[in-house]
């Protein structure tokens, strides 16, 4: 019997014995369960990615303390990568994908080392730059995990089902709680039990927005951003399938659209409307009907739902706080980037207001702010490379199982990028940016494995 054959069992036996002596049977059983879960992901890292797709949309910022505080979603990504490395050692997985989009992303990741180092010296803050950088890498790495772990249609189908189930939990929880309580603060107790960080900030956000639908994404704009990624994917998934899959897709699409309206995320609602209008112009089936029904429902909301009236009126008000802050951000942006010529880095989050420094509510300019001008240009390079790979959609006047996911994921990405002109939450918001790169990766996979390429 080789040394390696008995070394691992003996080590685990000693570990579990020590834990039982130190903490009793409950601690030992917890450790056994954790080890079994970890071994399962190491052997089958695909399961780690599937669990991420299930958990990330539903409870994105539930945290664990593993030496540092990290979200459960990010912990799953880290464990999945450990499984990938192990499978590489065993020779069971191909190397990293080498498509043009992935190469462009590698250039962005390489450049990020420069603002990481610069920010450590130029930014006075209590954050730990290298830790925040690693967490950013984990969120972005989904772009590489999807092609590695979903090489065929069956694997991609499982991933989509898990993603939509996660979104179903999100819309059911958010809409259900809002329908029962009609009070955003009702979500606070649940998020506290899920060990969300900064409970004081969560309470402040919910108490300030009592009439807007609460969700595990906390801020209404983050809620709108998450739902904007899921609604187009769910709609086309439902249209292209039959049976329970159709009901799953349509439930998420309709519930997600209602969630965008009730969250009061004006950017998400506007960009969803623009996407549907664009699909109607392209004569995509049901798009015109959806646009007409959506306009009718929106009109009814404005007539019978006072918070919607107030939210719409704020668009045309000279006293709208969020609009005023955005104008101030653009006004002070040259000063901000001059202060950090190599980027703010990862030691601190992009500030909103305070200490004379403003953030910026723009996806591309926020990359400039965080990673310097080269970082923004590298990000643009990633999106250009992505578009060159996915733009040949062919004839979309008929939606079939072969092209539905391609239309849905590309549409979701275009809607998300459209919101970049008025908000920044897809750039460095933890977990939400992972969903952004996840949808991009799925769109690339569906384009690369399409039956016909235009």
Given this model, what pLDDT does residue 27 score?
Answer: 44
Q: Which two tokens stand for residue 136?
A: 């950013």
Tell me whether residue 369 is in a domain: yes
Q: What gap in Å lies between CA 146 and CA 301, rounded to an integer?
A: 39
Tell me whether residue 334 is in a domain: yes
Structural domain boundaries, residue 261? 100-448
Q: What is the pTM of this model?
A: 0.90
Given this model, what pLDDT does residue 383 score?
Answer: 97
Given this model, what pLDDT does residue 454 score?
Answer: 42
Given this model, what pLDDT does residue 264 score?
Answer: 80
Tell me whether residue 312 is in a domain: yes
Tell me whether residue 3 is in a domain: no
Phi, psi of 83 (to 5 degrees): -65, -40
The residues of the chain scoring below 50 in pLDDT are 1-2, 4-5, 7-8, 12-13, 15-16, 18-21, 23-25, 27-28, 352-354, 453-454
Given this model, what pLDDT does residue 305 score?
Answer: 66
Q: Answer yes or no: are the C-beta atoms of 168 and 193 closer than 8 Å.
A: no
Given this model, what pLDDT does residue 420 score?
Answer: 94
Domain count, the chain: 1
Tell me whether residue 43 is in a domain: no
Q: Mind listing the pLDDT tens digit for each residue in 275-323? A: 888 888 888 877 766 766 666 666 676 666 666 666 656 555 556 667 7
Tell me whether residue 12 is in a domain: no
Q: Mind listing the pLDDT tens digit for each residue in 353-363? A: 445 567 899 99
CA distances from 119 to 123, 229, 234, 361, 362 (A): 5, 31, 40, 21, 21
Q: Mind listing the pLDDT tens digit for each residue in 38-56? A: 778 888 999 999 999 999 9
Tell me whether residue 282 is in a domain: yes
What is the rounded average pLDDT for all residues in the chain?
Answer: 84
Q: What gap in Å lies between CA 123 and CA 343, rounded to an integer?
A: 10
Cβ neighbors of 270 (< 8 A, separation 6 or more) are none
Q: Answer yes or no: are the C-beta atoms of 352 and 361 closer than 8 Å.
A: no
Q: 340: burial class by Cβ within 10 Å (0-12, 13-18, 19+)?
A: buried
335-338 contacts at long range (C-beta below 8 A, 24 or more positions apart): 336/360, 336/369, 337/368, 337/369, 337/372, 337/373
Tell me whether residue 308 is in a domain: yes
């Amino acid at each position: 019997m080789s040394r390696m054959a008995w070394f691992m069992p003996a080590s685990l036996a000693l570990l579990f014995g020590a834990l039982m002596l130190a903490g009793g049977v409950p601690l030992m059983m917890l450790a056994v369960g954790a080890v079994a879960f970890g071994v399962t992901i190491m052997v089958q890292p695909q399961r780690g990615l599937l669990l991420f797709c299930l958990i990330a949309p539903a409870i994105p910022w539930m945290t664990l303390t593993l030496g540092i505080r990290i979200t459960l979603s990010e912990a799953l990504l880290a464990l999945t990568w450990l499984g990938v490395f192990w499978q590489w050692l065993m020779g069971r997985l191909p190397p990293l994908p080498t498509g043009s989009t992935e190469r462009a992303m590698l250039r962005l990741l390489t450049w990020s080392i420069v603002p990481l180092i610069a920010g450590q010296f130029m930014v006075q803050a209590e954050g730990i730059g290298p830790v925040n950088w690693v967490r950013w890498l984990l969120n972005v790495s989904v772009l590489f995990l999807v092609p590695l772990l979903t090489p065929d249609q069956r694997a991609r189908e499982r991933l989509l089902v898990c993603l939509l189930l996660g979104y179903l939990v999100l819309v059911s929880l958010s809409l259900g709680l809002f329908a029962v309580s009609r009070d955003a603060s009702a979500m606070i107790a649940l998020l506290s039990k899920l060990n969300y960080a900064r409970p004081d900030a969560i309470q402040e956000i919910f108490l300030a927005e009592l009439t807007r639908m609460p969700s595990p994404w906390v801020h209404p704009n983050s809620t709108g951003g998450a739902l904007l990624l899921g609604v187009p994917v769910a709609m086309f998934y439902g249209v292209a399938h039959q049976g329970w899959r159709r009901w799953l897709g349509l439930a998420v699409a309709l519930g997600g659209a209602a969630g965008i309206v009730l969250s009061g995320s004006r950017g998400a609602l506007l960009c969803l409307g623009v996407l549907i209008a664009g699909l109607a112009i392209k004569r995509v089936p049901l798009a015109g009907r959806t646009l007409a029904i959506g306009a009718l429902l929106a009109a009814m909301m404005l007539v019978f739902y006072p918070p919607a009236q107030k939210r719409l009126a704020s668009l045309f008000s000279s006293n709208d706080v969020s609009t005023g802050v955005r104008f101030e951000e653009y006004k002070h942006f040259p000063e901000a980037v001059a202060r950090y010529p190599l980027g703010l880095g990862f030691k601190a989050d992009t500030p909103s207001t305070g200490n004379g420094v403003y953030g910026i509510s723009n996806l591309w300019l926020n990359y400039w702010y965080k990673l310097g001008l080269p970082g923004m240009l590298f990000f643009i390079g990633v999106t250009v490379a992505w578009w060159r790979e996915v733009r040949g959609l062919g004839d979309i006047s008929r939606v079939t199982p072969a092209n539905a996911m391609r239309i849905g994921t590309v549409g979701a990405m275009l809607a998300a990028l459209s919101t970049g002109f008025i908000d920044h939450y897809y750039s460095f918001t933890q977990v939400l940016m992972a969903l952004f790169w996840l949808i991009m990766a799925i769109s690339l996979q569906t384009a690369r494995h399409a039956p016909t390429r235009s």
